[in-house]
Amino acid sequence: MGTAMRLLARHQTPLLLILLLGLIAVLGLLGGDSVQVTLTEMFIRVVVVVGLFVFIGNSGIISFGQVGFMCIGAYAAAWATAEPSFKQIMLQGLPVVLQENQLPFWVAILGAVLLPALVAFGLGLAIMRLSGTAASIATFAFLIIVNSVYANWDSVTAGVSSIVGIPTVVGPWTAYGFSGLAILAAYGFQVSRVGLMLRASRDDEVAARACAVKVVRMRLIAFVLSAAITGMGGGLYAQFLGILTVDPFYLSLSFITIAMLVVGGQASLTGAVTGVVAVTAVVEVLRLLERGITLGGTALALPAGSQEIGLGLVMALILIFRPNGLSRGRELVLPSRRFGFAAPARISPRPKAAS
């Protein structure tokens, strides 16, 4: 068995996760158009939730604001690729270069990564020195600010009306590719020195307090990376829908993405990915039930809103009965000993028992 094999075994988690998602994508090929749409959306959410995980999972601080970065990323992408004719009429506040040109997809994604990262850097400088709870509230305030600014800054965001004419280039396979990229980036971070130290600080508050300056810096790095990945998710979302408004990037989406992370288990990358898959499945089933099914001649349908309430209940139940989520805070590894003595990189200390 060569070094390559051992390396592969050591870092099997992200590969297994990508494989798992690939399997789902292949199965999805059998479904119709609506399945394709659901799948694409799911993969984009994998990107977003993995982005969320990079900050929340590694630092232990809840951020309600990452959806704000998604919004910033989505608009950045739209600015790059929306129809010039539309931009010249509706978005006259944009720089002329953007107004007059329709830039390629990769530029859009680049913008969707860089702009949120930049904003996160500035915001992070201001709030990462706060205590965990205060920082969480500040991220919540940030979400409201983003929403308020993007809903009112008519000359660059078209205000409450929508931006149209964004090329819909993102399908299930593109989204899948990017979700793989996000998983690799997140994994790379959590096994990096900064990631390991940050996780150690999450689990040991005494140590965290002892080197406060370092912790603030490490949190900032995680926050920026998280914003970049989440922003990328936003960019993909814009290029998937083709039409963009501010509304979706608000409390509901913030709740759903956090619910995904919590259901899967916020302490592990595996949790982030499985959470998206599991919650998507639950939501789809509830949506189906809301539309109604016929059982032996009688039509049964849940009232509208059951989907949301159901998701809320699922999350509350998970918190109460399985606080470390479906993954129990562990990473996915193959059970067999085929890979020999190379143990997978141990990145997560066992979840602590409540004491």
Partner 1 sequence: MAPLLSVENIQVRYGDLVALRGVSLSVAEGEVVCIIGPNGAGKSTTMAAIAGGVVPHAGDIRLNGASIRGERPERIARLGVSLVPEGRHVFGTLTVDENLAVGGQLRGDRAAARADRERILSLLPRLGERLNSPAGRLSGGEQQMLAVARAVMTRPRLLLVDEPSLGLAPKIIDQIYEILLDLRRQASLTLLINEQSSTRILKHADRISVLRGGRIQLEGRAADLKDGEAIRQAYFGFGERAAQPAEASA
Partner 2 sequence: MIPFLQNLVDAVSLGSIYALVALGIGLLFGILRLINFAHGDFITVGAYALIVPSADVTARLLIGGWPWPVMIPTICLIVIVAALLTDALVFRPLRRASSPTLMIASFAVSYIIQNGVLMAYGARPKAVDLWSGANSQILIGELRVPMLQLVTLVVTLVLMGGLTLFLKKTPYGIQMRAAAEDFRMAQYLGVRGNLVIGLAFAISGILAGVVSLLTTTQSGSLSHTMGVPLALFAFVAVVVGGMGSLVGAVVGGFTIGLIVTMLQAYLPPDLRAFRDAFAFVILVLLVRPSGLVPARSTIERV
Judged by the rule CB under 8 A, the positions of this chain that interact with partner 1 are 350, 352-353, 355
Q: Which is nearer to partner 1, 97 or 354 (CB)?
A: 354
Gap between the Cα atoms of 156 and 153, Å rounded: 6
Q: Which is nearer to partner 2, 148 or 192 (CB)?
A: 148
Smallest distance from partner 2 to CB 222, Å: 15
Smallest distance from partner 2 to CB 80, Å: 24
> What residue type is 349 in one-letter code?
P
Smallest distance from partner 2 to CB 129, Å: 6
Q: Which is nearer to partner 2, 179 or 230 (CB)?
A: 230
CA–CA distances in Å: residue 212 to residues 33, 105, 130, 157, 268: 51, 41, 11, 39, 24
Gap between the Cα atoms of 283 and 276, Å rounded: 10
- 3-class secondary-structure state, position 293: strand
Q: Which does 333 bind (CB under 5 to 8 A by kind): partner 2, partner 1, none?
A: none
Q: Which is nearer to partner 1, 209 or 352 (CB)?
A: 352
Smallest distance from partner 2 to CB 47, Å: 21
Which residues sit opposite 244 in a β-bridge?
A: 163
Q: Which helix (H) or strand (E) holds 72?
A: helix 66-81
Q: Which is nearer to partner 2, 1 or 126 (CB)?
A: 126
Smallest distance from partner 2 to CB 153, Å: 8
Q: Which does 350 bind (CB under 5 to 8 A by kind): partner 1, partner 2, none?
A: partner 1
Half-sphere exposure at residue 351, Cβ-oriented, CA atoms within 13 angstroms: 19
- CB of 76 closer than 8 Å to CB of 116: yes
Buried b vs exposed e over 223-237: b needs ≥16 C-beta within 10 Å? Answer: bbbbbbbbbbbbbbb
Q: Which does 258 bind (CB under 5 to 8 A by kind): partner 1, partner 2, none?
A: partner 2
Q: Which helix (H) or strand (E) holds 295?
A: strand 293-295
Q: Which is nearer to partner 1, 340 or 349 (CB)?
A: 349
Smallest distance from partner 1 to CB 205, Å: 14
CA–CA distances in Å: residue 185 to residues 178, 264, 316: 10, 19, 30
Smallest distance from partner 1 to CB 175, Å: 39
Q: Which does 152 bind (CB under 5 to 8 A by kind): partner 1, partner 2, none?
A: partner 2
Smallest distance from partner 1 to CB 351, Å: 9
Q: Which is nearer to partner 2, 259 or 326 (CB)?
A: 259
Q: Which does 4 bind (CB under 5 to 8 A by kind): partner 2, partner 1, none?
A: none
Return residues touching partner 2 (CB under 8 A). Answer: 60-62, 64, 126-127, 129-134, 136-138, 140-142, 144-145, 148-149, 152-153, 205, 208-209, 215, 251-252, 255, 258-259, 262, 303-306, 308-309, 311-313, 315-316, 319-320, 323, 354-355
Smallest distance from partner 2 to CB 79, Å: 19
Q: Which does 344 bind (CB under 5 to 8 A by kind): partner 2, partner 1, none?
A: none
Q: Which is nearer to partner 2, 35 or 137 (CB)?
A: 137
Q: Which is nearer to partner 2, 25 or 278 (CB)?
A: 278
The 8-class DSSP code of residue 246 comes to S
Rg (CA), the chain: 21
Gap between the Cα atoms of 244 and 306, Å rounded: 26
CA–CA distances in Å: residue 341 to residues 4, 240, 331, 336: 13, 44, 18, 11
Helices (H), 211-305: 212-241, 251-264, 269-291
Q: Which does 26 bind (CB under 5 to 8 A by kind): partner 2, partner 1, none?
A: none
Closest CA to 124 of 210, 61, 33: 61
